[in-house]
């Protein structure tokens, strides 16, 4: 069985743009059938969504796309990461399985029960994770075919104070953290991001508190024409935590993201 409508949106950009802004964690929607498998009551679920959702990052990416001289493509998850987390490995390679937060979460940000331990993740992986992964793989392949390269920029946010689920929360928490991959993050991409966000927020960190960058597994570690960078924005720079409204910082950060897009589009 497949979803009645895709759980993601692939929004077109300029024909000659290599950039895909990937927004995997901005949504709060949970289909009723998936909600039935979550043990939290409605109030507790809303609080968990406040903590786990990268609020307003889809809005940020949309604003950056409007501001950019060369419009990037956008791949946006329409469902909460509490349905499936499309950026986790779906198997034992995923370190977050240690805290019940693999591709299908069984624990909350505060390490409380989200789903029963015996929950079989396969139905959710089959219905939501694999179609999403295939669509993202196809999106990258399309950019490779069209312009000969693809630049995946992951747009995330993170809380000012570490949450109990974080495995590496003891490190620095700068206004913007850039997550890198040894194979897929070339120096020129990292340099462009440092410049764009450094001018907007000042302090830029690297791979702390979150590290790495998303690349579809078909291309991961194999295709040098696919470059990738994760942009993690500390939430107090643009919104009221947790789960509150966006503030004026969103516009400044959208301008910085647009500057990065333009720097790597040529």
pLDDT value at position 4? 55
pLDDT of residue 1: 39
- The overall average pLDDT reported for the chain is 95
Predicted local confidence at residue 3, as pLDDT: 44
The residue among 179 and 91 whose pLDDT is bigger is 179
Whether the pLDDT of residue 266 is over 90: the answer is no
Q: Any alpha helices (H) in the chain, and if so which ranges? A: 32-35, 42-52, 57-67, 122-124, 130-147, 187-201, 249-265
Give the DSSP H or E segment for 74.
Answer: strand 73-77
pLDDT of 90 reads: 81
Residue 170 above 80 pLDDT? Answer: yes
What is the gyration radius of the CA atoms in the chain, in angstroms? 17
Assess whether pLDDT exceeds 90 at residue 89: no
| Amino acid 9: pLDDT | 97
Confidence of residue 96 (pLDDT cuts 50, 70, 90): confident
pLDDT in tens, 20-39: 999 999 999 999 999 999 99
At which residue do the structure tokens 């990937």 appear?
Answer: 22
Confidence of residue 105 (pLDDT cuts 50, 70, 90): very high
What domains lie within the chain, and their CATH numbers?
A: 8-29+51-86+120-264 (3.40.630.40)
- What is the pLDDT, as a whole number, of residue 94? 82
Query: What are phi and psi for residue 188, nearest 5 degrees?
Result: -70, -35
Of 263, 19, 3, 253, whose CA–CA distance to 11 is shortest?
A: 19
CB-based burial label for 231 (10 Å; 0-12, 13-18, 19+)? buried
The reported pLDDT for the residue numbered 168 is 83
pLDDT tens readout for residues 202-255: 899 999 999 999 999 999 999 999 999 999 999 999 999 999 999 999 999 999
Cα 212 to Cα 165: distance, rounded to the nearest angstrom: 17
User: pLDDT tens for residues 116-169?
Assistant: 989 999 999 999 999 999 999 999 999 999 999 999 999 999 999 999 999 888
The whole-number pLDDT of residue 145 equals 98
Does residue 86 carry a pLDDT above 90? yes
Please tell me the predicted confidence (pLDDT) of residue 6: 86
Chain length of the chain: 266
């Amino acid at each position: 069985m497949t979803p009645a409508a895709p759980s993601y949106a692939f929004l077109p950009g300029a024909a000659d743009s290599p950039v895909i802004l990937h927004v995997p964690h901005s949504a709060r929607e949970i289909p009723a059938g998936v909600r039935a498998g979550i043990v939290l009551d409605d109030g507790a679920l809303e609080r968990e969504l406040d903590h786990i959702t990268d609020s307003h990052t889809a809005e940020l990416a949309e604003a950056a796309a409007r501001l950019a001289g060369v419009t990037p493509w956008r791949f946006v998850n329409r469902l909460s990461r509490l349905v499936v987390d499309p950026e986790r490995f779906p198997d034992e390679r995923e370190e977050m399985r240690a805290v019940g937060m693999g591709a299908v979460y069984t624990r909350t940000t505060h390490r409380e029960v989200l789903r029963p331990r015996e929950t079989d993740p396969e139905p959710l992986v089959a219905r939501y994770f694999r179609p999403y992964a295939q669509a993202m793989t196809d999106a990258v392949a399309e950019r490779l075919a069209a312009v000969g390269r693809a630049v995946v920029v992951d747009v995330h946010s993170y809380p000012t104070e570490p949450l109990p689920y974080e495995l590496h929360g003891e490190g620095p928490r700068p206004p913007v953290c850039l997550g890198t991959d040894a194979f897929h993050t070339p120096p020129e991409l990292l340099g462009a991001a440092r410049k764009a966000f450094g001018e907007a927020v000042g302090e830029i960190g690297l791979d702390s508190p979150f590290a790495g960058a998303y690349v579809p597994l078909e291309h991961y570690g194999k295709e040098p024409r696919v470059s990738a960078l994760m942009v993690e924005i500390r939430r107090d720079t643009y919104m009221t935590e947790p789960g509150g409204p966006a503030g004026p910082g969103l516009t400044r950060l959208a301008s910085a993201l647009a500057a990065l897009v333009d720097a790597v589009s040529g």
